[in-house]
Every structure is written in C-alpha cells, then in structure tokens.
C-alpha cells in the first residue's frame, strides 16, 4: 500500500477520532428493570382468521446478570388483548364475539449498546403460555404452550430509562397459532 495513502488515512482517522466526542462515563445502573408496552397483535390463525387483530398491553420485568456494553438476563411478563371473533364462523346468537387472550412469557434477553450513540438493540426469546379466557362462551379458545423470538431498538433517555419500537413473533406448539406483536415499550431500571 502506498505510504502516502496510509498516512492520509491515519491523519483522517485521527481527526475524526479527535472531533468525535467521547462518551462520558455512565453511572452504574441497577440490574433489575420493569417494562410497559403497547401495540398491535396480528394473529395468523390456522382456522381461517377466525380471530381478528387487536390492541395489546403488556407488563414485564427482568434481571440482567451479565452487564457491560452487552447485557444478558432473563425476563418474565404478561401481554393481554381482546380479539373480536368472526361471527360468520362462530355464531353464539349474541352480539358479543370477543375473546380475551393473555400470554405469560419467560425467557432470555440480550442487549447491546451502539457505541457513543444513545441507542441499544436487543433480542429476546423463550417460552410462553397462552390462555384465551372467554367467560361468556365457555372457553372457546385453546390454551397452550409455545415459543417466542423478538427484538427491538431502544433510545436511552437516561441510563436507566429507555423506550422504542419492538417486534415479537410467537408460535403455539400445539395449535400452530402464529402471532406477530408490533409496538412500543418503555423500560425502567429499578433497584433490586
């Protein structure tokens, strides 16, 4: 390689490195966190889309046991939604064609910081139990286990306050029901 080119690259790299502010030392944050989320559940039912899409609300928490620029921890949570059933497929002779769905999940979560940028990226995965409570229709839905994977991007407002978009894919092991959850979450680190 030409020494002039190499010298020029070193000079440009040094100038960029000096001009780019170094991140200030972040104070240590707590290991535990809670998360609130909201979004949309897009269900892909093997039963001809009997269940419609719905708004979802979630509450969760976790504990990071490996911390640094990359964190690794576990998470637990619940996500709930109310879905309207297709009255052409299921006729109860009533006006109420809704089913309440709750997903209880637990798994692992890995988060990485993006250098000097105030963003983090995370991936997650684990198992869930879906329960379709339906008091007025004697349990139309099927309860069952499944797996989930997902990820998101978080903006760090403060070292212990983050929010941003997420996507999660879930698939029931027994019934094959697939769900895509899209939304926004806010995560708050708290003392254990």
- CATH number of the domain enclosing 148: 2.40.160.20
- Residues 169 and 16: their CA atoms lie apart, in Å, by 40
Could you give the number of structural domains in the chain? Answer: 1
Tens-digit pLDDT profile for residues 77-115: 999 998 777 666 655 556 656 778 899 999 999 999 888
CA triple 116-118-120, angle to 5 deg: 100
Of 80, 75, 79, nearest to 61 (Cα)?
A: 75
Q: How many CB atoms lie within 10 A of CB 15?
A: 10
Tens-digit pLDDT profile for residues 35-59: 999 999 988 766 555 667 889 999 9
Q: What is the span of the domain harbouring residue 94?
A: 3-190
């Amino acid at each position: 390689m030409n020494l002039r080119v190499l010298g020029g690259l070193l000079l440009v790299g040094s100038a960029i490195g000096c001009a780019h502010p170094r991140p200030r030392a972040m104070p240590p944050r707590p290991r535990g966190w809670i998360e609130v989320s909201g979004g949309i559940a897009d269900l892909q039912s093997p039963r001809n889309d009997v269940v419609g899409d719905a708004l979802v609300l979630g509450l969760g928490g976790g504990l990071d046991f490996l911390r640094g620029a990359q964190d690794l921890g576990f998470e637990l949570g619940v996500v709930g939604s109310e879905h309207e059933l297709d009255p052409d497929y299921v006729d109860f002779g009533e006006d109420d064609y809704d089913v309440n769905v709750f997903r209880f999940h637990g798994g692992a979560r890995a988060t990485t910081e993006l250098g000097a940028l105030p963003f983090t990226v995370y991936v997650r995965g684990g198992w869930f139990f879906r329960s379709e409570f339906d008091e007025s229709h004697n349990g139309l839905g099927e309860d069952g286990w499944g797996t989930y994977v997902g990820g998101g991007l978080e903006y760090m407002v403060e070292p212990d306050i983050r929010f941003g978009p997420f996507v999660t894919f879930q698939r029931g092991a027994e019934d094959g029901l697939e769900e895509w959850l899209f939304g926004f979450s806010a995560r708050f680190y708290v003392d254990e």
